[in-house]
Structure 1
C-alpha cells in the first residue's frame, strides 16, 4: 500500500487529541490482511457495505457501545474499536470466504436480481459464527440452500420461474392462447346508476377533510369500469398518458424487460408488467409463476387493465382530480382539485415554466415538458401504484383514498425537484 493510501495510525492521530473513527476502522481492518479481501475495496479498506452490514451492527455494535459511535474517538476508545475488529478476525475471515462461496453458487444458479453484498453479507457472518470457515465437503450444499432461501424471500425465484415459463415454447403458446381468449371476450362495462358524476364530486369534496370519501356507491355501481369504456375511443387513453397508441390493444406476452425502457402502462407486455413490480420489493407477493401470469393476462383485458373495482374507482377519481394539473386557469370546484392545484402551484419551477419563455425559465427542457404534461405523468404513476397493490393483494382503503391521490402528486414533485437539482448541479439542461 502506498503512503498516500495508508491510513494514519491511531498513535499518530493521538497527538491531535482524538482519532477519526474512519481511521481506527481502517487500521483495524487492514491489519486482517488478505483474508478479508472479498469484503475489502481496492485499497484494502472495508467496503461501505461491509461497515454498514457487518462491522457496525455485528462487531462494533455502536448502539450498545455509544462511546464507539462518534466520528471522532478518544485514543482509548479508538484502541478498543481496533481491538474489537482484531478479536473478530477469524470470524471476519470466514465471512469473506463464505461470501466467495455464495457468490459462486449464485452464478451457478443463474440468479441475477439484487446486490449480492446486500443480500449475503449478514448471512455469511452468521454462517461464519456458527460453522467457521467453509468446509469443502459441505460448503456447496449449505451455500445452495442459503442462496435459494434468500432468493425465495426476495422474489427472485418467482421472477426466474416466470422467465423460464415464458421462454418455454409450449407454455408460451398456452399463455398466448389465454391472452387471445381474454381479449376476444372482453366487454365494456355499463354503470348501474345515472348520478355517478355527483358521487364523484361528493367523494372529491370529502378529500382533505375530516370526512371519509364515500366511494362504496361508485364501487357497487361499477362506475370505474364504466368510465373505462371511454378509453376505447380513438386517442382517449393516449390523452391520459397511458398508451402511445391511438387506442389500447392486446399486449404481447413478452419475454424481456428493462427498467430503463419500460413502455407506457397499456403498452407493456405481460412480462414487463410483472417485471416492473417483481424486480422491486416482491417479498410480500404470494403467487406462483403460473398464477402470476394467468392473473396478469386476465387483468390486461379488464377495465383500466386493473382487476379490482375499487382500483378502477380510485383511477376514476384520479382522472377527475388530475384536471387540477392542466395548464389552464379553469379550476374545477371540488376540494381535491383545490388542494392538488395548490400543491402544484407552490412549486417555483412550475410557476417559472408556465410564466416564462423556455430560454428564460432556467428549467431544463425535459422537466419543462413534464410540467406541461403533468396530468399524464400523474395518472401513469397512479396506475402503477394501483397495479402494484393488486399484485400484492392489497386494496386502497377508503380512508386512504385522498392520501393516495395526494401522495402521487408529492411523488411527481419530489422526482422533478431531484432531477432539477441534478441538472443545475451539472450546469447543463441535458442533465435532466
Structure 2
C-alpha cells in the first residue's frame, strides 16, 4: 500500500519532494519550523530532518537524491512517525525565541543555535511543561557560555576601540602593499582532470595534490590582483573573478564596524568585520573557533592573502570551483565550456531536471512579458549567470573552513564541498521560485475583481 501522503507511482522521486510532501501532511503542528507556504525551512531539513530523523549514515538507501517506491514509503513513514516530536520541537523553539528576547540575546541565528537543541528537548521531555521556562533559560545560558564570548556583539566591542582600529588599518595597509601581483593565471587543465575523475566516480585524483604543490590557487589570486587575466576560464563572456568582487581589481579590505546579511557585498569587497560576521553568524560550535582577538588578528592577514584564503588546498578548490562554475548550464542552452567534465554533466543534469528551471527555461523563450513585474524574470536571469551565486557560496564555505584550519586533504574531499555547494544553490533557487509563485498566485487572486453583470 502506498503511504497516504505520497502518490502511487513506479517512478523514482526526488528525496526533497518526498520530504516536502510528507512534511505538509503533518499539518500545522510544526509551523514554527516551516516556511510561509507550509514547506519545511531549509535549515529544518539540514539540521533536523536529515541528520536526526532520516539519518542517511544509518540508512544509506535514503541518502540518494532520487528514491524508489519502497524508499519513498520508508522516508514518508519516518517523517509521519516523527510528527509528535516535531510538533514538540516547534513549541520548544517558539519558547526559546521568546526567552531569548526576554534575556536580550541578539547574537547568532536562532535556527542554527537552537533547532537541534529543541529536538533534543522534545525527545527527552515531550512538549514544554510546567518547568519549561526554567529549562529554556538554562539551555540559552548554556549556548551563550559555550560560545566563549565568540559573538557578533563581542566582535563589535573589540573593533569599537579607536586605537585598535587604527592599528588594524595600518596592518592592513602594510599587508596589502606587500602583496605580489603577478600577471597570468593558473592552468585550469589540471582542474578539468580533477573534475573528470571526481565527478565520474567519486575517486581521488593525483592532479589535486599536484595543483596544491604548484600553488595554482595562489597563482590565480595574484593574477586577479595584477589585472584581469584574459580567458582564464576558456570563456570570454565571464569575468575572471566570477563575481567575487564588483571591481576590476579587488580593493584593499577595510576594518569596518557593522554588517547585515541583506546587504553583504561580494566576498573580496567585504570588510574585516563583514568577513568575521558571517563566520560568527553561521557557527553552531563557536567553542571551536579562536577567541575574538585572535580571529581578528588572523583575518587581517587572511584578507590580504591570495583569494582571501590562507590554506592552499582551499585556494585550489576555488580554481576547481571556477572551472565547474563557468560550465554550469541550468537552462540547457549549450553554453558550457569546451571539454565539459563528468562533474559538469552530473551537476547540470540534476539542475536541468528541476521544475523551477524548466519554468525559467520557458520564460527565456516566451514572447510574453513577465506577469509579476519582473521577479520571475530576475530568477530566470540568475540561471543565465549561475557562476555568481555558486562562487559566492563556495567562497563563504571555504572561508569558514580556513578560519577553523580545516584544509581539504584530497580531491574527493574537495568534490564533496563543490557538489554540496551546487546542491545548496539549486535548493535556494527552487525555494525562491516557489516563494515568487506563491506571492504571484496570492496577488492575482486578491486583484481579480468579481464578475460584473453585463447589460444588454
Task: Please say whether Structure 1 and Structure 2 have the same fold, judged by a TM-score greater than 0.5.
Answer: yes
Q: 2:190 aligns with which of 186, 193, 199?
A: 199
Higher RCO (CA 8 Å, separation ≥ 6 residues): 2
Q: For residues 221-232 of structure 1, what are the structure 2 equivalents within 5 Å?
A: 221-232=214-225
Matched, 1:332 2:345: no
Counterpart Cα distance in 2 of 1:275 and 1:369: 29
Q: 1:150 aligns with which of 127, 134, 143?
A: 143
Counterpart Cα distance in 1 of 2:222 and 2:386: 23
Counterpart Cα distance in 1 of 2:193 and 2:443: 44
Secondary structure in 2 matching 1:246: coil
Q: Is the 8 A contact 2:408 2:414 kept in 1?
A: yes
Q: For residues 75-224 of structure 1, what are the structure 2 equivalents within 5 Å?
A: 106-107=103-104, 112-115=107-110, 118=114, 149-154=142-147, 157-188=150-181, 196-210=187-201, 211-214=203-206, 215-224=208-217
- Check 1:331–1:196 CA distance in 2 against 1; reply closer, same or farther (3 A cut): closer
1:296 to partner: Cα distance? 1.0
Q: Is the 8 A contact 1:159 1:289 kept in 2?
A: no
- CA deviations 1:236-292 (Å, max 9, x no partner) are 667511111221011110111111111111111110111112112242432011110
- Partner of residue 414, structure 2: 401
Counterpart Cα distance in 2 of 1:345 and 1:316: 24
- CA deviations 1:178-225 (Å, max 9, x no partner) are 11121111113699xx99444223212102233313311110110111
* Structure 1: gaps (5+ residues): 1-21, 26-68, 73-95, 127-131
- Check 1:100–1:315 CA distance in 2 against 1; reply closer, same or farther (3 A cut): closer
Matched, 1:352 2:339: no
User: Normalising by the residue count of structure 2, what TM-score does the alignment of the two structures yield?
Assistant: 0.61
Q: Is the 8 A contact 2:361 2:380 kept in 1?
A: no
How many aligned positions are there?
A: 332
Q: For residues 266-345 of structure 1, what are the structure 2 equivalents within 5 Å?
A: 266-284=268-286, 285-325=288-328, 328-333=334-339, 334-345=341-352
Bigger helix fraction: 1
What RMSD in Å do the two structures reach over aligned CA positions?
4.5
Computing the radius of gyration from Cα coordinates, the structure with the larger value is 1
- CA deviations 1:281-324 (Å, max 9, x no partner) are 24243201111011111111111111110001010011112221
- Partner of residue 40, structure 2: none
Secondary structure in 1 matching 2:413: helix
Secondary structure in 2 matching 1:425: helix
Counterpart Cα distance in 1 of 2:300 and 2:368: 43
- Partner of residue 383, structure 2: 371
1:162 to partner: Cα distance? 1.6
1:350 to partner: Cα distance? 4.6
Counterpart Cα distance in 2 of 1:238 and 1:188: 15
Counterpart Cα distance in 1 of 2:326 and 2:83: 50
Counterpart Cα distance in 2 of 1:291 and 1:258: 22
Q: Is the 8 A contact 2:245 2:269 kept in 1?
A: yes
**Which has the higher mean CA deviation after the structures are superposed, 151-160 or 293-302?**
151-160
1:349 to partner: Cα distance? 3.2
Matched, 1:384 2:400: no
User: Normalising by the residue count of structure 1, what TM-score does the alignment of the two structures yield?
Assistant: 0.64
**Which has the higher mean CA deviation after the structures are superposed, 393-402 or 213-222?**
393-402
Q: Is the 8 A contact 2:226 2:249 kept in 1?
A: yes
Secondary structure in 2 matching 1:324: coil
- Partner of residue 262, structure 1: 264
Counterpart Cα distance in 1 of 2:100 and 2:420: 40
Secondary structure in 2 matching 1:401: helix
Counterpart Cα distance in 2 of 1:169 and 1:198: 48
* Structure 2: gaps (5+ residues): 1-26, 30-80, 85-94, 126-130, 230-238, 445-456
Q: Is the 8 A contact 1:344 1:350 kept in 2?
A: no
